[in-house]
Amino acid sequence: MANRYRLTGKCLMGSKPLSVNMPPTSGVIGIKGSKMLKLKRSLCTECQICMAICSFNHFGENTTKRSRIHVESDWPKVPAISVCLACQDHECVAACPHEALSWEDWVRLDKDRCDGCAVCVDACPVNGVRMDPQTDLPLICDTCEGSFQCVQWCPTGAVQKRNIRS
């Protein structure tokens, strides 16, 4: 049974608050380490639901500023979608001078080791790392710990799951 949450604040689809049914994140487990995100930019309508659900899932806030996935409009061209795609070399992990990032099924952040230097942002080859404007810590996709909320909520299929090699 899905839990009912109410997203408050500015709703991206209008002026009214948005009520959503979200599946619980506990118990929603993919095969860890085998799935990551795949993007179909041509299907993206720039609705930003993926961004809203990401920040709501991680911070309980209806804001796109703290999202780990970012949709940038370049109308009339296809929008740019920036998110960690689990590159083979995990360049953000290798670049971190404080060893605050590690790869364990997805990029994980040790908040105690991170000083907010943003070297990981510059190291990411796909612009998939952003800095949290409130904490100055990196925002890197963790697939909502395997529940893939952005994939579940994307109405067009622009954000999908894909198999990855270890």
| CATH number of the domain where residue 118 is located | 3.30.70.20
Residue 67 CA to residue 59 CA, distance in Å, equals 9
- DSSP 8-state code for residue 42: G
What is the distance between the terminal CA atoms of the chain, rounded to a whole angstrom? 33
Q: Are residues 66 and 145 in the same domain?
A: yes
* Domain-embedded: residue 58: yes
* pLDDT digit string (tens) for the chain, length 166 residues: 333 333 333 333 333 333 333 333 322 222 344 578 999 999 999 999 999 999 999 999 999 999 999 999 878 888 899 999 888 889 999 999 999 999 988 899 999 999 999 999 999 999 999 999 999 999 999 999 889 999 999 999 999 998 765 4
Specify the number of domains making up the chain. Answer: 2
Q: Are 161 and 151 in contact (CB under 8 A)?
A: yes
Domain ranges, residue 154: 39-83+141-166
Is 9 inside any structural domain? no
**Distance from C-alpha of 35 to C-alpha of 139, rounded to nearest angstrom:** 19
